[in-house]
Amino acid sequence: MLTWQVAVDGPLLAPDERLGDAIRTSGIPSGPAEFFADLGNLQVALPVLACTLAYVTYRTRRMLPAVTALATMALVPALVVPLQHLLARPGPPPMSPATGFFPSGHAATAAVAYGLCALLLAGRAAAHGCVVVNAAVGLGLVRQGYHWPLDVVGSWCLGVLLLTAAARVTGGAVSRSTRRSSSGTPSC
């Protein structure tokens, strides 16, 4: 629905732009907002995912989770870049009149990379941390004027689809293997 709204210049765009303008002028400090927006950069998110993959692969002695995570992460630009070019949504000031802002590549990168970390670590704290970090990334991207709110939410929707597929491929075997290996029982 969000992609359709952007594609047809639908009625959600006006409130989206008002919300984006309100967030940008809300008084949220620029420094922390920039820090959190930067967590969506590939240069930050990929090393975090790589460390998680190394840890999980070492603990479980299984390659399927790592291969699945790498394939899932590779789908992010493969899906986001064509959509950005196709929809050509203008960015918020000062980015206007540049186009290609929906969906947000930074928000999608953060959602999928940190979501995969939470999925692979299979803990409640990791899941909560993923939600908090992604909310902060999204707020930072909007506050700094890099994206409109719908750009971020659209990326989160894409992230949920990709993470759901990754979870189905791994079948929850990561969490079972991690628990077994930490309890001293060999994993298969």
For tokens 């409640």, name the residue.
124
Asked if omega into 94 is within 30° of 0 (cis), the reply is: yes
Can you give the pTM of this predicted structure? 0.90
Question: What one-character DSSP code corresponds to residue 26?
Answer: S
pLDDT greater than 90 at residue 180: no
Instruction: Specify the pLDDT at position 174.
Output: 57
Instruction: Specify the pLDDT at position 185.
Output: 39
For tokens 């907002």, name the residue.
33
| 124 vs 29: CA distance, rounded Å | 30
- Domain contains 19: no
- Domain contains 162: yes
| 158 vs 132: CA distance, rounded Å | 18
- Domain contains 60: yes
Inter-residue contact 96 to 90 (CB < 8 Å): yes
- Domain contains 164: yes
Which domain covers residue 132, as residue numbers? 31-174
Instruction: Specify the pLDDT at position 44.
Output: 98
- Domain contains 141: yes
pLDDT in tens, 94-131: 777 788 999 999 999 999 999 999 999 988 999 999 99
